[in-house]
Amino acid sequence: MITDPVVEGLQVFVVGGAVRDALLQLEAGDRDWVVVGATPEDMVARGFIPVGGDFPVFLHPVTKEEYALARTERKSGRGYKGFTFYTGNDVTLAEDLQRRDLTVNAIARSMSTGELFDPLNGVRDLHDKVLRHVGPAFEEDPVRMLRLARFTARFTDFSIAPETLALCQKMVAQGEVDALVPERVWQELSRGLMCAKPSNMLSVLVNTGASPRVMPQWVDSARVREAVDQAGVAGLPLPARFALLCLDTPDAQAFAKHLRAPTECADMARLLPKVLEVLKAAGQVGGLHAEHVLGVFESCDALRKPERFVTLLQAAHIVRAVPLPAWQGWLNAVMSIDAGAAARTASTPQQIKAVVRQARLQALLAGFDSRT
């Protein structure tokens, strides 16, 4: 129960993920507020700041949280943007909840009394650990299928209701997911990769037939699924997880470009195979040569971006055992060289690059002698 003079007298409810997570005793994130029985004029009169585009959304004058008027949706076109909205003050809370994606996200709690409203039995599905679509309108928005896949990566012990999985397969067969733009796919995929078990998300996309539609260049494998899960256990950042997602994808750069993935993700996917190739060729620490290691440092721009290179090694370690302390020592040894001082020993300007490289190689060889 919350007391707020700005909303006193309004029918205000917190809905969706904040209610779900509270019931699951998880840390609460952002709260979504819904106002029932009010008009835009009512909200402005109370000091709320209108910011909505397609439908009325308002910022609280103090907390800056978003408050949306209760609304209904009607399909008016193809894809996830093909909707018209109605936000009259006669829209009920039950009608607003009915337009949501999953029953576990269609639970509301009154701001004034703390009472739960659960017309779609979301609490029961939370107890049973089932992700179930609210109704037939689920298939009108293909983003909901992506969100469903992502939820399986976060709520690892939840299952998808059979009828919901069947509906997703129908959406793919009818071409509804083809309307998804790459940016929207990336938004959900990247969030899912940062969850506890990304392989669950990948399984949903594969089992529904959606993966070749929304990620046409991506190649699935047991190795990839295990790698992204292990990256989660290791707490690796998104670029490393994306690189591991691309392990068996022949053209990772085309895949990254298709998804409009950030540059750091595309770069990590491009560089990881270089590191893995050296490790594969070496087989073990004793098989590594200083020249090869320096070559990897150079090709991965490790001297300018050492933190990224360390992350690359951590990602590689998911796939193949990497002597991380030894590599860190070698990198430190090479970075300890004063390139300016080394350059001044060159006889001609043309020799500077070779002299600096030789100094770095000598430092690396000394490091090898102390570790092998």
Which CATH number belongs to the domain containing residue 6 in this structure? 3.30.460.10
pLDDT at 76: 47
Residue 74 lies in a domain: yes
Residue where the block lists tokens 């000598």: 362
Rounded to the nearest 5°, which phi and psi values hold at 366? -60, -40
Residue 71 lies in a domain: yes
Residue 50 lies in a domain: yes
pLDDT at 283: 58
| Residue 68 lies in domain | 1-119
Handedness of CA 311, 149, 205, 159 (dihedral sign): positive
pLDDT at 369: 60
Q: How many CB atoms lie within 10 A of CB 52?
A: 17
pLDDT at 372: 47
Distance from C-alpha of 75 to C-alpha of 81, rounded to nearest angstrom: 9
Please give the tally of structural domains in the chain.
1
Rounded to the nearest 5°, which phi and psi values hold at 284? -160, 175
Residue 172 lies in a domain: no
Distance from C-alpha of 223 to C-alpha of 148, rounded to nearest angstrom: 23
The neighbouring-strand residues paired with 57 are 68
Give pLDDT < 70 ranges for the chain: 1-2, 52-55, 74-84, 282-287, 369-372
CA angle, 83 then 87 then 93, to 5°: 105
Sheet harboring 49-50: ordered strands across? Answer: 49-50, 57-59, 66-69, 32-36, 11-15, 108-110, 116-117
pLDDT at 371: 53
pLDDT at 74: 66
pLDDT at 352: 86
Residue 3 lies in a domain: yes
Q: CA dist 132 to 180, 208, 334, Å?
A: 22, 15, 55
Residue 24 lies in a domain: yes
pLDDT at 90: 87
Q: CA dist 331 to 269, 305, 325, 337, 370, Å?
A: 21, 11, 10, 11, 14
Residue 189 lies in a domain: no
Q: CA dist 164 to 22, 160, 184, Å?
A: 24, 7, 21
Residue 231 lies in a domain: no
pLDDT at 79: 47
* Cα 346 to the center of its chain, rounded Å: 49
Nearest Cα to Cα of residue 276 among 312, 327, 239: 312
